[in-house]
Amino acid sequence: MTETLTPDPQGLARAARLLSAGGLVAFPTETVYGLGGDARSDSAVACIFAAKGRPRFNPLIVHVGDLEMARTIAVFDDCAERLAAAFWPGPLTLVLPLAASASLSPLVTADLPSVAVRVPAHPVARSLLAVFGHPIAAPSANRSGRVSPTRAEHVREELRCRIAAIVEGGACGVGLESTIIGLTGEPALLRPGGLPAEAVEACIGRALVRSLPGEVPTAPGQLASHYAPAAAVRLDATAPEAGEFWIGFGAAAASADLNLSPGGDLIEAAANLFHFLREADRRARSGIAVSPIPDTGLGRAINDRLRRAAAPRPPG
Ligand code: TXA
Ligand code: MG
């Protein structure tokens, strides 16, 4: 059952306890309702993807209560400082280099060296972040492929029984997702949204690089800087070949070097995936073999990521 919580001190304390226990809590922001989970927890973030039914591990936006918390996860340059001072709290997300000290789940960033961060303005979101005290990963609280929810009822229709709780907060004022600005290279408009791009340009005193529709890198594999193992990856392996490091799945892979989920749980497998790929890359002598993963539920996102890891690399 999904609890309905009122945005009073008791309701927010309950929401924070559920988040601390790894549960998912939908909450209002000024843009749209977010589907929140502890951004430090691999299993909470894996559950976000499972609840949304996303076929890919797109990187998620990390919500923080203030600039101080933002600095614990991301590196701010002059441009980022200026935009944060002008528009936070508000409907602006900045993609910044991930701070070395950030202890986020690699699923949140899709294992990228950057992180999308925003300080929401909605009083309920701000209170929840203050009570919880840690970064909250939150995509829009809809099933994959549906429109973003701007009222608690929309969230309930789509995610009832799939999440621990919904914090009520009325209708969202902006009703459009946040504007995403990439600051890991030339300042770029990655997603138009609630804050006009012109306001961003006026603030930083220069034009934004605007990708053409279809060029926006949303999936991790499309991002040039995305981490790919150096070792060759072989999929659907029921046993390792000589020298291969074997990442198994399920009971059939009892002798694997690492097992994504001995009990065959896809949420557990997703939570382990990026950690295991990195460890396999460190330890592999000749390559990495990966067990077959069922192509259902989160298995689709796992297989998408594995296919990208196994794809031939562009030269250089
Ligand atoms: O208004 C909003 O932004 C809402 C509310 C809940 O805050 N959140 C939202 O989150 O729309 P989400 O997870 O649905 O949007 C994430 C977007 C994706 O399109 C993703 O490509 C981009 O942010 N993104 C996240 N991290 C990124 C990164 N490191 N590099 C490039 N793009 C990134
Ligand atoms: Mg969305």
Q: Which residue has the higher pLDDT, 309 or 315?
A: 309
d(CA 298, CA 265): 10
Alpha carbons 76 and 68: distance in angstroms, whole number: 11
**Which ligand 1 atom lies nearest to the CA of residue 35?**
6
- How close is the Cα of 176 to the center of ligand 2, in Å? 10
Question: Residue 91: is its pLDDT beyond 50?
Answer: yes
89 lines ligand 1 (CB under 6 A): no
Q: Is 252 helix (H, G, I), strand (E, B) or coil?
A: helix
Q: How far is the CA of 7 from the centre of ligand 1 (A)?
A: 25
Q: Whose CA is nearest to atom 16 of ligand 1?
A: 60
What is the CA(135)–ligand 1 centre distance, in A? 14
Can you give the pLDDT at residue 51?
A: 96
Instruction: Tell me which of 25, 32, 60, 179 to substitute to probe ligand 1's pocket, judged by most ligand atoms within 8 Å of the beta carbon.
Output: 60
Q: Is the peptide bond before 89 cis (omega within 30 degrees of 0)?
A: yes
pLDDT for residue 312: 78
Q: Count of alpha carbons within 13 Å of 174, Cβ hemisphere only?
A: 21
CB-CB contact of 154 with 58 (8 Å): no
CA distance 93 to 116: 6
> How many of the other CB atoms lie within 10 Å of CB of 198?
10
Centre of ligand 1 from the C-alpha of residue 59, in Å: 7
How far apart are alpha carbons 116 and 83 in whole angstroms? 14
Residue 281, classified by CB atoms within 10 Å of its CB into exposed (0-12), middle (13-18) or buried (19+), is: middle
pLDDT tens per residue, range 214-230? 555 544 444 444 567 88
Domains of the chain listed by start with CATH number:
3-210 (3.90.870.10), 233-310 (3.40.50.11030)
Query: How far apart are alpha carbons 179 and 189 in whole angstroms?
Result: 8
Q: Tens digit of pLDDT for each residue in 18-74?
A: 999 999 999 999 999 999 999 999 999 999 999 999 889 999 999 999 999 999 999
Ligand 1 atom closest to Cα of residue 93: 3
Model-wide pTM > 0.95: no
Q: Is pLDDT above 60 for 316? A: no
- The alpha-carbon radius of gyration of the chain (Å, integer) is 20
User: Is pLDDT above 50 for 11?
Assistant: yes
Distance 93 CA to ligand 1 centre (A): 8
Query: Is 249 in contact with 269 (CB distance < 8 Å)?
Result: yes
> Is the CB of residue 141 below 6 angstroms from any atom belonging to ligand 1?
no
